[in-house]
């Protein structure tokens, strides 16, 4: 049987996993914006709202673990959300650049 603190930590790990997937989806939608148009934008906005609620849940869980209020913001935004989002954004930009470069080489060889 886990203690309440251990249950809270497991809950935070679960929330972080969902947050990671959501941030990657948002970064993907920004880089590949032309695929499926407005439907993707709608899903991205819904995901963003869902992730904001998820971050609030993480904030409350960290308060239960007796973290200091100012440290919680630094941990969540500066230590997790911003790095994951910007790394995912950079990853998809590099991936798209390589794909476009590869497809341009194939087209130039056909001509």
Sign of CA dihedral 106, 108, 109, 111: positive
Q: How far apart are CA 9 and CA 3, in angstroms?
A: 10
What residues does each domain of the chain span? Answer: 4-110
Using alpha carbons, list the distances in angstroms from residue 18 to 14, 23, 75, 102: 7, 9, 17, 32
Q: Six-digit token pair at 32? A: 């590949």
Q: Is the pTM of this model over 0.75?
A: yes
Sequential pLDDT tens for the chain (111 residues): 889 999 999 999 999 999 999 999 999 998 988 766 778 888 999 999 999 999 999 999 999 999 999 899 999 999 999 999 999 999 999 999 998 888 877 777 776
Q: How far apart are CA 86 and CA 88, in angstroms?
A: 5
Sign of CA dihedral 62, 63, 66, 72: positive
């Amino acid at each position: 049987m886990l203690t309440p603190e251990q249950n809270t930590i497991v809950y935070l790990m679960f929330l972080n996993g969902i947050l990671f997937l959501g941030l990657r989806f948002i970064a993907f939608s920004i880089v590949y914006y032309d695929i499926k148009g407005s439907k993707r934008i709608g899903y991205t906005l819904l995901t963003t709202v869902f992730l904001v609620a998820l971050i609030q849940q993480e904030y409350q869980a960290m308060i239960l673990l007796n973290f200091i209020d100012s440290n919680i913001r630094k941990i969540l935004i500066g230590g997790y959300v911003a790095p994951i989002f910007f790394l995912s954004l950079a990853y998809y930009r590099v991936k798209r650049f390589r794909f476009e470069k590869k497809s341009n080489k194939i087209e130039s060889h056909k001509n």
